[in-house]
Structure formats: C-alpha cells, structure tokens
C-alpha cells in the first residue's frame, strides 16, 4: 500500500521487496535476491533488474524525493527508507530451495562398520581441499562411506548437501542436468553447466557425486567449471578411478581389514577386525541363531579373507547363514556367483557381486580386458616384470602392458603393494576369479598357464641360485611372495600330467621356498609327489639328490626318524658322491647325523660327525668344520660326558662366524650357534649352573622367535626352554612356552614334534599333581617309539615311572623304570641314568620293607657315584637329597648333613630353584649336624652371586 492505497506488483517483485525490507539499510546481493525470487530456477540477472525497476515505479519516491531502493553498482540493492516492525519478530518468511530441505541424503539403514579412520581422514582432507574423490574397487563401500561423511556435514553448509547418483546416467552430456535436477533447479539456458556455476557463485553447499567412473570425463569437466566459479562449493566424489582434476585429493579406500592367515585367533580377537565385525553384524541381523564363538571364529575369518574384506561381498554372504553353516558357506564360496547374489536392495549393479564386476569389466577398452584376463593367472602378488613376461605375446611391445597395468590400477581393478624392493601388484581374489572365468571363455587359459608355469620356473631357479649369496631378508622380500604362484603352477603342471617335466623342475627349484618359509609338511607332500615312480623318467641325478635330501629332512621333522628317512638321505648321499658335489655330501651327512641322534644311536652320530669334520677339512670348509662341534657336543651330552660336550659347544660358539647377511638355517637345518646354545643350556643345568642354563635357554628362545623359522622354535622350546624350566621347577615359564609350542606344531602339522611336546605337557601335569599326565605321557611315548624316536625317551619313561609311584601304582612304576634303565643302557644314552637309578630307589622305598630299603640305599649310592663320574652336579644333588631324607627319617642327622652339605656348597647359583631349595630346607632341618652353620654361610654367597651370560 502507498498512502493507504493498494499497489499491484508481481509475486517475484514482492519476494524481492520482502527480502530488502527484512534487512533495512543492508546490502542484499543479487544472488540472494535471485535465490529468493526464483528458488528452483536459473535466470539471468536481467530478470532481477526488470523486477527492481517495476518495484521502483510502483513505490515512487520517499517524501524527501529519494528512492526507496538504492543500487550498489555490480553488487546488489539496499532498502534505504526507515522500516518499523510491528507484531511478532518471528513472522519473517525465508524462502529456500527444495521446499526448505537442506539435503537429499537417504536415511542410513545400517551402521557404518570399520571406517572411523577413513571418516576422520576424509573430513580432515575436505577442510583443505574443495574436491576429494574416494577411489576403490566395486563393492568396497565407497558410497556408504561418502553418505556417512555427508550426513555429518549437513549442518556445515548454508545451502545444503546434495547427493547426485550418476549410476543410472548413461550419457556424459546429462551429468550437468542430473546435478541441476538433484538440487531442484529449473534451468532455462542452453549451457546448463554454466548456469549451475552462476547459480552457485555466492552459495555454500556440498555435492556428493556418486558412481562417476562411467562418465568420468563429463564429471571432471563439470567439477572443474563449478569449482572455478564458486568458492563456497565442495565436491565429494566416488569413483573406481580418479577424476584427474587440478586440486583433486584422492582417498584410496582399502577393503576392510581381515584377520591374518596362519594365526589361530579367538572369537574376541577376530571380532576386532572390521571385516569380521561387519559379517557378524549382518549375520546376526538376518539369522537370530548365529553366534560367533571360538570354534567357528577361524572359519568366519577365512570367509572374510576369501571375500577380500569387500563390504558388498560380506553383506551378500552373511545372510546366507540362514541356509548354511559357516563351514558350508566357506566351501560354497568356491562358486561365488551363486552364493553372493539375490540381494533385493539398491542399485541393480550391487545386487550381485558378479554384476558389480560386469559393470567394471564393461567399462574397459578391449586391450585392458585382455590384460586383466591374462593377469588372473597370478595367484599372488606379481612384479611388472612378471606381468610383461606372462601377458605380452612374443614380438609385441611391453609398453602396452606397463601402460595397461597403470590404467587397471587407476581403475581399482589391480591393487598395489609398495615395498623396499619396488612395487608389486595383485588382483583381489573376487576380481581374479571373475577374470579367470573370462580367460576360460577366451580360450587362452592353457596357453597362459603354460607361460605362467615357465616363468615361475625361471624365477624359482634364479631364486635358488641366489639364496646363498643374497641377504635372507632381502631374498624373502623378493621371492617369498611367489609361493602362491608356485603352488598354482605345480597344480596346473601335474593335473592331468599337463607338463610333468616343468612340474619336477619347479618342485626341485621350489625347495628353498618351502624351507625358508617353514612350510615343512607342504614340502614333504610336494617332494613325495615328484618322487613317485611314474615320474622317474623325468628326473636326473641332481634332481634325485635334491628331492631325496628334502624328503629326508621333511620326513624327520614331520613323521619322525622312520627308516625311510635314512634311506632318503643315503640315496641323496650316493647321488652327491657320484656328482662329486661336496656341498650336498655335507648336507646329507648332516642329516644322517641328526637321524642317528633322534634314534638314540649317539655313537653312530659321533662317527657321522667325524666324517663331516674330515670332509669339511679336506675341502677347506671352515664353517662346516667348526659347526660340527655342535653335533659332537650333542652326542657327548647324551652319552653322559657333559664336560667334553661343554668344551665342544663353547668352542663352536666362540669360533662361529655368521654369514654377513644370509642365514645358515638352510645349510645346517638350524642356526648353528643358536642350536648350540640350547644344548649348552642343558649341559649347564647338568653341571650345577641352573641360572646360567635358564639365561642361555631364554636367549636361544629369543633368537628362535626372531628367526621366524618353524624348526628353530621347535628346537628351542622342546629341547631347551621347557625342559630347563621343568628341571628347575619353574612351572609358570613351562606352561607359557608349552602353550606356544602346542599351537605351533599343530599349525605346521609336525606330528613327531607334537608327540615330544605332549611328553613335556604330561611332565608339567605330573609336577602339578595331576594324574592325567600319565595317560598323555604313555600315548606320546608309544607314538615316538613307534617311529623309531629314542632320544630323551629313557628320561621320559623315568618320569612316567615316578608318576605311577606318586599315584600309587608301584608295580607298574617298577616295570616302567626297568624299561627306562634298559633302554638307556642299550642305546648308550646314559646322561639321565643317575636320575633313573634315583627314581627306582624311590619306588623301592615306597614299598616300605627293610629288604627293599637296603636295595634303595644301594641304588642311591650308585646314582651318586655315576653322577660324580659324569660331572653331573644337579643329578648328584638330587640323589644326595633323596639319600639324606632317608637317613634323616632313620634318625641319622649327622650322616645326612655330612653327605648333603658339601654337595650343596658347590652350588654358586640357583638358590631359588626347586632342587636347591629342597636341599637347603633339609639342611635347615638337620640342625647341629651342620645345617645351621652351613645355612648361615650360604646366605653370604647368595648375596654375592651373579648371573653369567655366556
């Protein structure tokens, strides 16, 4: 109204007037006025001028002849007349686009799992970049992540957050139209892209451009134009390849992390991995009966690994537990196209994993499709060299391959692994399976598998030639990752006898891989397959030598010292002698030396060690000559000569010069110095140095763990750390390492080491007062003796006999101890004979008659005498303590103290170990027989003692 007279103006002009009056005296920009008057439509600024002019005509001038509306040139308009507001302050109306909405994001139906780090990283990056593209393979969860981030930012942008789903846009020219439509703009302009840019000039909003890969060029052009025109606009894009626009930040979204292979984890532990967390959440959501427990946790972990941690694959697979058990689902995943299907939600491309891969494959140029198919023959990571060697046809340029690999990486169909030795590439398992099927359909499979096998043979032969000259860590980094491809190539070569010659040659060349990677059981089965009679015509003497040497080693450490072990090493030795290959002669002799040690034939082991020493000396091999002292020391230790054993072992340790970079494990089966320390720790205990023994055992264990070698850990725990802990009475340490070794031998299918570890477990149970150890020990001993294993068996049978006596079966105990003594005498393994005699004396004493008491005393004296002659102070202390207890019970205190006190005084350490504490307690009880005076003296020595660290 003007002077109480109604004035007719159009609706657009009225909106402009309202916007100006609401902010009297303030500058209102042209963009704001256009947005207010035309909220859903793009118009030229000339429309604004026309409507402001119409307002001026309708309003006229103020009483002082100045206009109501002033122009600020190039910027906007200002209402300059005084304004009086009456009524409620909240009656102002602000028009916004999209009917007042601030976003068009769908409400999340499920929780985002395992992406908190990604959310934080992307939000941080968006603070410094106006364009960020989330890049990753199909099904990895790019869209879900982008929506979660956008949902958190809706209040950050004055003009909203808008999702533009480009999945259904088949023509790149329609990208600008899709953006305009999503934002609710009605654009009346031939150049929609420019119109959107003009509309955005003074606005602040975020665009989420989802699924850009198939219209990537159009999206890149549109994004560049929009960002150049409007400083308040942010773009968050998702694509399988970057937009490649100036200023673009790229976030490559990896699959959800899965539990590592070859590690047995509990339900709680596997649930800490995001892939498993997502699987469990979706499984419980669709099947109320599903529960993750320790029994099915390894299976669920394997399912998530097979699905590559892809969120879509997991989302598709988990609901299948309505029909299948976890084990059945794992087996069915071999045919993923059937299992991972039929999800009725969202984009059709995401309803099956195959559809997602079809989408990606369909976007590739034909040369890229060919390359992807051919790269699918690689089971694991591969280098660019390997990719070119297998995928490029003869006579063709390798440039297309290198360029193609780069393109497939950019499109998230090939992933990269960067290390110290360069970049390696890998196809996700789901992608590889899809590409393999395409390779079959192309008719190229067998031709490419042949190329692949030949290339692997070349690499394996090169690796075998380098394993003695390159640093072990570097060798493993370069070649260790090839093991999956070696397995694949061997499977192809031997399947249907496609290429037996390549299979044999590859098996021989792959032996270093299995040895370095501690794949003992796998090596055994592969070598046995290559040695089958039907393949004999494909083997030469050198192949026979290497295969039989490997067979002997792997059989020994998995099945035990069977006759086949000696036969294999003897055959290999004959081949080495015929070939005049002294290196392999030494390896075979070393193996035979170990064989005789395990069978308890320590005299033959000494003879074999002498042959090694002579051969090594003749050829000037100082390392082999010096290192054989470990074998000599081991044999002497079991033959009851700890003093001589110690001299050989300490000499070997002092002389040993480790290779500068590589490991000696392959040549000598174990790290020589570390293994020698283990034997020396046992000798230290025998000689009355329990603290030194414990320190040395711990050092060997640390070295074995650092070596990451299966046999090294077995040797350290089974032959040293656990036995020393049990001998000193440290049940806590023994239990800790027993848990480790039990899992370790189960993982590597090493049945003979499993039986040895069960002997130790049984001894631990018996020391803890648990009679269940008796049955465990008996069964384990039966297994060991059945395969010819005799080493330490006399001692374990003695432990069994003592346990029977402790639990009341004296008759069986007497029979068992006689068996132990007989076995010890027949093999010459008399290191533990003093202890066996003491145990027999104790069993006799438990019968309680005078006649057997005298016999028991005689046995104790015999044990004492033998321990002294051997120089085994710890056995001497045990025998003396047992005899002193007997005399103390008979009232002969002085005689008891007189026997035990001098032996106790010879100990300068170990005052907290079980046997020394027992002797000290007995001496305290003896009293004036020497106990109190002696005890006071021992306190001084205990305060002064130090722990040596040889």
Give yes or no on whether 102-252 and 446-580 have one common fold.
no
Residues contacting 920, CB < 8 A, separation 6+:
904, 911, 935, 938
Paired tokens of 607: 């003879």
> Is CATH 3.40.50.970 correct for 102-252?
no
Mean per-residue pLDDT for 588-602?
95
- CATH code reported for the domain at 446-580: 1.25.40
The H or E element containing residue 133 is: strand 131-135
For residues 139 and 343, is the Cβ–Cβ distance under 8 A?
Answer: no
**pLDDT (0 to 100) of residue 480:** 83
Q: Model-level pTM?
A: 0.69
Pairing, β 205-210 against β 233-239: parallel
Paired sense of beta strands 76-79 and 69-72, if any: antiparallel
Q: What angle do CA 776, 777, 783 make, to 5 degrees?
A: 95
Where do the H-state alpha helices sit in 318-392?
326-332, 336-339, 353-362, 366-375, 384-391
- Maximum average pLDDT range among 177-186, 460-469, 695-704: 695-704
Among candidates 512, 581, 526, 585, which has minimal Cα distance to 555?
526
pLDDT at 42: 63
Residue 67 β-bridge partners: 61
Are residues 67 and 79 in contact, defined by beta-carbon separation less than 8 angstroms?
no
pLDDT for the residue numbered 933: 44
Mean pLDDT over all residues of the chain? 86
For the segment 313-326, the average pLDDT, to the nearest whole number, is: 84
Phi-psi region at 11: left, alpha or beta (left = phi > 0; alpha = psi -120 to 50)? alpha
Percent of the chain residues past pLDDT 90, beyond the cut: 53
CA–CA separation, 828 and 843 (whole Å): 24
**Alpha helix stretches (DSSP H) within 656-730:** 665-668, 672-686, 690-707, 710-716, 722-728
**pLDDT (0 to 100) of residue 335:** 57
In this predicted structure, what is the pLDDT of residue 285? Answer: 75
What whole-number distance in Å separates Cα of residue 488 and Cα of residue 476? 19
**Mean pLDDT of all residues in 812-818:** 96
Work out the pLDDT band at 100, boundaries 50, 70, 90. low
* pLDDT band (50, 70, 90) for residue 708: confident
The pLDDT, as a whole number, for residue 346 is 46
Find the mean pLDDT for residues 285-304: 85
pLDDT at 2: 56
Burial of residue 537 (number of CB atoms within 10 Å: 0-12, 13-18, 19+): exposed
Most confident of 90-104, 411-425, 651-665, 783-797: 783-797
Cα distance between residue 112 and residue 253, in whole Å: 14
Identify the residue with better confidence: 470 or 763.
Answer: 763
- Output 28-36 pairs: Cβ under 8 A, ≥24 positions apart: 28/76, 28/77, 28/78, 29/75, 29/76, 29/202, 30/75, 30/76, 30/77, 31/201, 31/202, 31/203, 32/76, 32/202, 33/76, 33/77, 35/97, 35/203, 36/94, 36/95
Q: CA-CA distances (angstroms) from residue 91 to 87, 94, 278?
A: 8, 10, 49
- The pLDDT, as a whole number, for residue 262 is 66
Greatest CA span in the chain, whole angstroms? 141
Answer whether residue 394 shows pLDDT above 50: yes
Bridge-based pairing of strands 28-29 and 161-165 is unpaired
Query: pLDDT value at position 61?
Result: 67
| Least confident span in 165-174, 661-670, 851-860 | 661-670
364-443: CATH topology? Arc Repressor Mutant, subunit A (1.10.10)
pLDDT for 950 equals 34
CA–CA separation, 736 vs 271, rounded Å?
24
Is residue 408 scored above 70 in pLDDT? Answer: yes
Give the model's pLDDT for residue 349.
47
pLDDT of residue 945: 37
pLDDT category, 431, cuts 50, 70, 90? confident
What are the residues whose beta carbons fall under 8 Å from the beta carbon of 711, sequence distance 6 or more? 518, 520, 557, 665, 669, 670
The answer to whether the Cα torsion of 335, 338, 343, 346 is positive or negative is positive
Mean of pLDDT values over 42-63:
75
Digit-coded pLDDT (tens) for 819-872: 999 999 999 999 999 999 999 999 999 987 777 888 999 999 999 999 999 999
Secondary structure (3-state) at 356: helix
565 or 284: whose pLDDT is higher? 565
| pLDDT in the model for residue 193 | 86
Of residues 912, 896, 558, the one with CA closest to residue 729: 912
Return the H-helix or E-strand segment holding 187. strand 186-187
The pLDDT of residue 96 is: 35
Decide if pLDDT at 98 tops 70.
no
Under DSSP, the state recorded for 259 is P
Domain boundaries, the chain: 11-95, 102-252, 267-353, 364-443, 446-580, 865-950
Q: H helices then E strands: how many in the chain? A: 46, 12
Residue 766's pLDDT band (boundaries 50, 70, 90)?
A: very high
d(C-alpha 625, C-alpha 617), whole Å: 6
pLDDT band (50, 70, 90) for residue 517: confident
More confident residue, 339 or 235: 235
- CA-CA distances (angstroms) from residue 565 to 45, 114, 542, 571? 93, 50, 19, 10
Per-residue b or e along 671-704, where b marks 16 or more CB atoms closer than 10 Å to that residue's CB: bbbbbbbbbbbbbbbbbbbbbbbbbbbbbbbebb
**Using an 8 Å Cβ cutoff, are 492 and 449 in contact?**
yes
The label of the residue with tokens 């985002």 reads 112
Distance between CA atoms of residues 709 and 720, nearest Å: 16
Q: Can you say whether the dihedral through the CA atoms of 650, 654, 656, 660 is positive or negative? A: positive
Whether residue 908 is predicted with pLDDT greater than 80 in this model: the reply is yes
Which whole number is the average pLDDT over 745-750?
79
Assign domain 11-95 to its CATH architecture: Orthogonal Bundle (1.10)
Judge contact between 569 and 591, C-beta under 8 A. yes
Q: Which burial class, exposed, middle or buried, applies to 936 when counting CB atoms under 10 A from its CB (0-12, 13-18, 19+)?
A: exposed
Local structure of 207: helix, strand or coil: strand
Residue 33 — pLDDT band, cuts 50, 70, 90?
confident
Return the closest-CA partner of residue 304 out of 517, 522, 114: 114
Averaged pLDDT, 390-394: 90
φ, ψ of residue 176 in degrees (nearest 5): -60, -40
Tell me the average pLDDT across 546-573: 94
pLDDT of residue 590: 92
What is the band of 82 on the pLDDT scale with cuts at 50, 70, 90? confident
Give the DSSP letter of residue 2.
B
């Amino acid at each position: 109204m003007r002077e109480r007279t109604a004035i007719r103006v159009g609706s657009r002009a009225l909106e402009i007037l309202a916007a100006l009056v609401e902010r009297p005296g303030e500058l209102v920009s042209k963009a704001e006025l256009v947005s207010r008057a035309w909220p859903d439509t793009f118009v030229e600024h000339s429309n604004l001028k026309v409507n402001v002019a119409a307002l001026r005509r309708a309003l006229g001038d103020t009483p002082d002849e100045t206009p109501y509306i002033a122009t600020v040139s190039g910027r906007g308009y200002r209402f300059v007349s005084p304004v009086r507001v009456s009524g409620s302050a909240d009656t102002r109306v602000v028009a916004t686009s999209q009917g007042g909405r601030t976003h068009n994001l769908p409400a999340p139906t499920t929780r985002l799992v395992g992406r908190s780090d990604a959310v934080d990283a992307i939000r941080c990056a968006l603070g410094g970049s106006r364009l960020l593209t989330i890049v990753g393979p199909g099904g990895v969860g790019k869209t879900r992540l982008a929506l979660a981030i956008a949902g958190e930012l809706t209040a950050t942008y004055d003009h909203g957050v808008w999702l533009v789903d480009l999945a259904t846009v088949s023509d790149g020219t329609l990208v600008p139209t899709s953006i305009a439509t999503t934002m609710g703009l009605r654009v009346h302009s031939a150049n929609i892209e420019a119109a959107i840019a003009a509309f955005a000039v003074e606005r602040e909003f975020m665009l989420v451009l989802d699924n850009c890969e198939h219209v990537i060029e159009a999206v890149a052009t549109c994004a560049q134009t929009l960002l150049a025109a409007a400083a308040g606009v942010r773009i968050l894009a998702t694509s399988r390849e970057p937009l490649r626009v100036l200023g673009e930040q790229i976030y490559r979204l990896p699959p959800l992390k899965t539990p590592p292979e070859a590690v047995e984890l509990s339900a709680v532990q596997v649930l800490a991995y995001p892939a498993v967390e997502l699987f469990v959440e979706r499984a419980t959501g669709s099947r109320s009966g599903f529960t993750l427990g320790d029994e099915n946790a390894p299976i669920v972990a394997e399912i998530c690994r097979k699905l590559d941690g892809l969120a879509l694959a997991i989302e598709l697979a988990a609901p299948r537990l309505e029909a299948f058990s976890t084990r059945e689902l794992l087996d069915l995943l071999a045919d993923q196209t059937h299992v991972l299907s039929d999800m009725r939600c969202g984009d059709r491309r995401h309803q099956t994993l195959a559809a997602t891969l079809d989408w990606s494959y369909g976007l590739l140029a034909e040369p890229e499709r060919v390359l992807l198919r051919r790269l699918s023959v690689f089971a694991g990571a591969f280098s660019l060299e390997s990719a070119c060697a297998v995928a490029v046809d003869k006579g063709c340029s390798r440039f297309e391959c290198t360029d193609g690999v780069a393109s497939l990486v950019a499109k998230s169909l090939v992933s990269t692994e960067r290390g110290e030795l360069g970049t390696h590439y890998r196809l996700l398992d789901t992608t590889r399976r899809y590409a393999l099927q395409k390779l079959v359909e192309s008719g190229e499979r067998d031709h490419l598998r042949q190329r692949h096998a030949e290339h692997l043979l070349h690499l394996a032969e090169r690796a075998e030639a380098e394993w003695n000259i390159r640093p072990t860590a570097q060798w493993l980094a370069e070649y260790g990752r090839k093991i999956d491809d070696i397995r694949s190539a061997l499977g192809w070569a031997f399947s249907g006898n496609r290429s037996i010659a390549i299979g044999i040659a590859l098996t021989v060349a792959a032996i270093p891989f299995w040895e370095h990677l501690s794949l003992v059981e796998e090596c055994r089965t592969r070598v046995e397959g290559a040695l089958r009679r039907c393949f004999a015509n494909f083997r030469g003497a050198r192949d026979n030598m290497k295969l039989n040497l490997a067979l002997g080693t792997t059989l020994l450490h998995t099945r035990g010292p069977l006759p086949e072990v000696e036969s294999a090493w003897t055959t290999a030795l004959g081949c080495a002698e015929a070939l005049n290959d002294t290196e392999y002669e030494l390896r075979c002799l070393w193996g035979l030396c170990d064989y005789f040690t395990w069978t308890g034939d320590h005299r033959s082991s000494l003879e074999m060690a002498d042959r090694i020493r002579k051969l090594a000396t003749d050829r000037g091999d100082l390392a082999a000559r010096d290192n054989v002292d470990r074998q000599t020391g081991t044999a002497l230790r079991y033959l009851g000569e700890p003093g001589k054993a110690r001299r050989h072992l300490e000499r070997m340790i002092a002389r040993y010069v480790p290779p500068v970079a590589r490991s000696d494990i392959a040549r000598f089966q174990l790290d020589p110095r570390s293994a020698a320390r283990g034997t020396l720790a046992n000798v230290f205990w025998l000689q009355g140095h329990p603290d030194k023994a414990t320190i040395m055992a711990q050092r060997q264990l640390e070295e074995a763990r650092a070596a990451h070698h299966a046999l090294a850990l077995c040797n350290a725990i089974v032959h040293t750390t656990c036995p020393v802990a049990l001998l000193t009475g440290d049940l806590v340490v023994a239990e800790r390492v027993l848990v480790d070794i039990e899992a370790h031998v189960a993982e590597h299918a090493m049945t003979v080491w499993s039986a040895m570890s069960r002997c130790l477990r049984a001894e631990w149970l018996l020391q803890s007062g648990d009679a269940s150890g008796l049955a465990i020990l008996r069964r384990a001993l039966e297994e060991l003796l059945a395969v010819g294993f005799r080493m330490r068996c006399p001692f374990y049978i003695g432990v069994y006999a003592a346990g029977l006596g402790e639990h009341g079966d004296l008759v069986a105990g007497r029979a068992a101890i006689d068996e132990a003594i007989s076995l010890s005498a027949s093999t010459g393994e008399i290191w533990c004979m003093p202890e066996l005699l003491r145990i027999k004396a104790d069993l006799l004493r438990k019968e309680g008659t005078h006649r057997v008491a005298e016999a028991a005393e005689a046995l104790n004296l015999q044990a004492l005498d033998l321990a002294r002659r051997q120089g085994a102070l710890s056995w001497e202390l045990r025998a003396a303590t047992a005899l002193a207890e007997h005399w103390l019970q008979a009232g002969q205190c002085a005689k008891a103290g007189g026997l035990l006190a001098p032996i106790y005084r010879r100990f300068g350490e170990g005052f907290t170990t079980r046997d020394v504490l027992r002797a000290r307690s007995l001496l305290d009880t003896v009293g004036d027989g020497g106990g109190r005076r002696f005890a006071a003296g021992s306190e001084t020595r205990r305060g002064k003692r130090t722990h040596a660290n040889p």
